[in-house]
Structures are given as structure tokens and as C-alpha cells.
Amino acid sequence: MAKKDKDIKTNAMRILDRSNIAHEVVTYECGEFTDGVSIARKLGEPEELMYKTLVTEGKSGEYFVFVIPVAKELDLKKAAKSVGEKSVEMIHVKDINKITGYIRGGCSPIGMKKSYVTVVDGSAESLCKIIISGGRIGSQIIMDPHDLAAVVNGKFSDIIHKEN
């Protein structure tokens, strides 16, 4: 069961508050990492609104953030092209905290240790709202995808693998 939680703020929530960006924080009971499709069910939201944050490293050694629907896969070639890299690879799970300041299952595209080039999948561009990690396990942020792109200085691009 989802509930509103205004007591525990993460970096992502503080940044949205400081920037006066409309958003809603919802929490759910969870002891450890849970996949996004299961979280959508717990929140009673369509999985198409639930987006995950993926971090990659480019051939150049730079890090890039991609925000895609939870049930989809990142197309590494499209992702690389969208950021002007020859190639990108997913970072290792053990490096998530060191690079982002977040942990697996609680990695928000907002409020990372550093500001990385961020690309939101184009599927979000036509939506009124999307749901992203709130910056810790058990916490999600519901917000306008255009506000997300603005707050992370991101852009929209087709970056998911298309099924045939």
C-alpha cells in the first residue's frame, strides 16, 4: 500500500523542493531491492509510468545517466549515439554508490554526487507524469517528465531496445 511521506527527504526531494518543481512522494514497504514492475503493482500505478535510472560509462571514461521504462531494455548503441560516444557500457552494480551516491534500487536521476549527461527515453515525452526513484529504496517520486528533463539538464531521445 502506497502512502504519502513528507518526513524523510532525500537529495532528489530537496532539489525538487528548492527548485519549486511540482512532485509527489510515495513510499512502499520494502526491505531490499525490488524490480520496478513489482513496485508499480504495489503503488497501483500502470507500469508504463514507472521509469528506472541506469548509469553507463562511455568509451571516453565519462559517465552517462539514462532513464527508461522499467520493463524495457536500454539499447546501448542508441544510448551511445544520443550522448555522442562510440560506445557505452553499464557500470558494475558495486560501483553505483561510488559514482552516484545512491544504492541499487534507490538510484534517482536527480541529486547524484555529480551532474552527469542525462537522457530520458522519448516514450516519456508524451506522458503527463512518470514515476522515478525517490533516492532510496521504498520511495518514489511522481512528476512531469519535462520537469525531470529540466532539473537534470537532460534531453529526450529514443534509447530503448525495440522488440521485433
Summarised one tens digit per residue, pLDDT across range 48-82 is 999 999 999 999 999 999 999 999 999 999 999 99
- pLDDT given at position 33: 64
Within a domain: 164: no
| 141 has pLDDT over 70 | yes
Within a domain: 58: yes
Within a domain: 162: no
- Match 502506497 to its residue by C-alpha cell: 2
**pTM score over 0.75:** yes
- pLDDT given at position 159: 98
- pLDDT given at position 126: 96
Write out the residue range of the structural domain in which residue 124 sits.
Answer: 3-157
| 4 has pLDDT over 70 | no
- pLDDT given at position 23: 97
End-to-end CA distance of the chain: 36
| 110 has pLDDT over 90 | yes
Within a domain: 146: yes
Within a domain: 117: yes
Q: What is the pLDDT of residues 7-62, one digit of tens each?
A: 578 999 999 999 999 999 998 887 666 788 888 888 889 999 999 999 999 999 99
- pLDDT given at position 29: 81
Within a domain: 98: yes
DSSP notation for 6-74: -S---HHHHHHHHTT--EEEEE---SS---HHHHHHHHT--GGGBEEEEEEEETTS-EEEEEEETTS-B
Average pLDDT, the chain: 91
Within a domain: 163: no
Please state the domain count of the chain: 1
CA distance 27 to 6: 10
| 164 has pLDDT over 70 | no
Within a domain: 64: yes
| 140 has pLDDT over 80 | yes
Q: What is the CATH number of the domain that holds 61?
A: 3.90.960.10
